[in-house]
Amino acid sequence: MLYFSKLRIFFVSLISLFFIIIASSNFFNFNNNLLNKKINLGLDLQGGSYLLLEIDNSPVIDQKLQNLSLTIRNYFKDKNIKVKNLKLIDQNLFFSVNTEFMQTVLDVFNDKNSDLNPYNSRFKSHQLDIIQEDNNFKVNYSKQGIIEIKISSQDQALEIVRRRIDEIGTNEPNILKRGNDRILVELPGLDDPMRIKSLLGKTANLTFRFVSNSNDDSFGSEILKYENSSEESNVSKRIILSGDNLLDAQPRMDNQTNETVVSFTLDRVGAKRFGKATSTGIGKQLAIVLDGKIISAPVIRDTIASGSGQISGGFTFQSATDLALLLRSGALPAPLNIIEERTVGPDLGQDSINAGMIALIIGFILVIIFILIKYKIFGLITNFALVINLFLLIGILTIFEATLTLPGIAGIILTVGMAVDANVLIFERIKEELKNEKNNLIAFDSGYSKSKTAILDANITTLLAAFILFFMGSGPIKGFSLTLGIGIFTTLFSVYFIARLLTVLYVSKNKQKEGLI
């Protein structure tokens, strides 16, 4: 009905004013936290860095097969079956058993309750291929198994990459999957990605191991280099503690030595292991190894049972901050290689902004002129509602500090067209009603009521398309669908509350006037 209560008029005015103020925060600086929000510009508008990372899953497959070899050895040892020539070559696990145990081994692999059964109940697929020839066996991952490893590694890597980038405070990064072994990273506004590349290029696999002074270590040993020197040490392969046991890591200044260190805190299990290792290893060197290089190897002077300690290694504050960040975010499941890198300069971004703004302004002006000529005073009301609609849309994007891209600007332009379309439908329907109804109030009320179904149907179908684009699309497609989806809601609000309110006020004062529209 053509009636607005004072309360409804108050709320419509309040909501409009609120979003106008919020939208204006993009052009003015306010001290208030709510009013200090701004729309962020995407990579295509303000420039930045583009990195395409590829996950090297070979170490993951090797590690899983190494673990499987231990499982095989221990499993058959419990059954008094001697496994011979167990070795890993080119992601294939080879071993042999005596002929009399052949059937027993085959039965173990075929037993669904066995740890060595190749069928993975989680993925409902066969992860392992087992080939038997005489008394020799070859075990490797099937194609499906490798795909599942890649998907799992990608999911883990994506989360850790996101954590590392978020810790740095990069503005609105875009981190997406590409295929099943690649990750796309877009960093708007970042012209020098060297620090990001350094952080993403490190697996951050942290281990604590004793320095071995003899070759009699029952766990075996290996020679590792120090990170900042050419020195080497023989380090035990026995891992006392890993990065999985870390709760927190922060850069600190050591008051005694006046050097920058990384202090760390362990979880309950890690603290217990660390306390036991330091109590039995007093006088030994404890090597702190990161990605196969020794950061430092301090001598244990006393038992450390507090579950906290510090890593020193001649750090600058920046390198200590980065190391702490890597340790907090966790180790990558596999190394990442940068296979494509692009830096978009700010000039290109500014050109894009100018082109988009010119297109928006030209389209907006043409629409305003057309509506004004076509519907006169009601065209003026429509144009006013159109401006408020833009403020509503920009205000909502500002509250969520959304990232605006060129496709997003296209969504805003499309919203303008849809808002005008809704008003055209209403006014053309009112014209039809005025042919049969002399009472202006009834004609206008009927026009709004009878056009509602067509407008809602059109906007709902467009909204469904926007939802599908948002959840099925990626990157630029999401930007377009987001602004389009929000624009549909702001359009309906501006048409049925703002434009209708102004129409009611004008028609009520001129209800006896002929040829209103």
How far does CA 123 lie from the centroid of its chain?
Answer: 24
**Dist CA 499 CA 387 (whole Å):** 11
The three-state DSSP-derived secondary structure of 151-197 is HHHHHHHHHHHHHHHHHHCCCCCEEEEECCCEEEEEEECCCCCHHHH
* Amino acid identity, position 505: L
Half-sphere exposure of 306 (CA within 13 A, CB side): 8
Among the listed ranges 102-106, 351-355, 448-452, which one has the minimum average pLDDT value? Answer: 351-355
Six-digit token pair at 347? 């000039």
How large a percentage of the chain has pLDDT more than 90?
Answer: 17
Residue type, 484: L
Give the relative orientation of helices 317-329 and 143-168 as an angle to the nearest 10 degrees.
140
Which band of pLDDT confidence, cut at 50, 70 and 90, is reported for residue 347? Answer: low
Cβ atoms of 39 and 26 closer than 8 Å = yes
Residue 198 scores a pLDDT above 60: yes
SS3 (DSSP) at 406: helix
- Rounded Cα distance between 514 and 198, Å, is 74
- Beta-strand relationship, 40-41 and 403-404: parallel
pLDDT in tens, 216-225: 566 778 889 9
- Of 328, 229, 259, 331, which Cα lies nearest the Cα of 290? 331
Give CA separation, 209 vs 12, 166, 276, 336, 356, in Å. 67, 31, 13, 25, 58
- Out of 87-96, 101-110, 295-304, 482-491, the most confident range is 482-491
**Tokens 């004062």, residue?**
509
Does residue 478 contact residue 404 with C-beta atoms inside 8 Å?
no
Q: How is residue 472 written in tokens? A: 């099925």
Q: What are residue 210's DSSP bridge partners?
A: 286
Name which residue leads in pLDDT, 336 or 167.
336
The predicted-structure confidence for 225-241, as pLDDT tens digits, reads as follows 988 778 888 988 888 88
The SS3 of residue 488 is: helix
Closest CA to 107 of 70, 76, 85, 139: 76
Placement of tokens 């145990």 in the chain: 101
* pLDDT, position 124: 45
82-108 pLDDT, tens digit per residue, is 888 888 888 888 888 888 888 777 777
Mean pLDDT, the chain, whole residue set: 84
Which residue matches tokens 């009699």?
216
- Shortest CA distance to 290 belongs to which of 260, 319, 255, 265? 319
**How does residue 332 score in pLDDT terms, banded at 50, 70 and 90?**
confident
Q: What is the pLDDT of residue 121?
A: 46
Q: What is the pTM of this model?
A: 0.65
CA dist 123 and 104 (Å) reads 27
Residue bearing the bigger pLDDT, 367 or 339: 339
Q: Quote the tokens at residue 484.
A: 């389009």
pLDDT at 114: 66
Cα 285-291-295 angle, rounded to 5 deg = 40
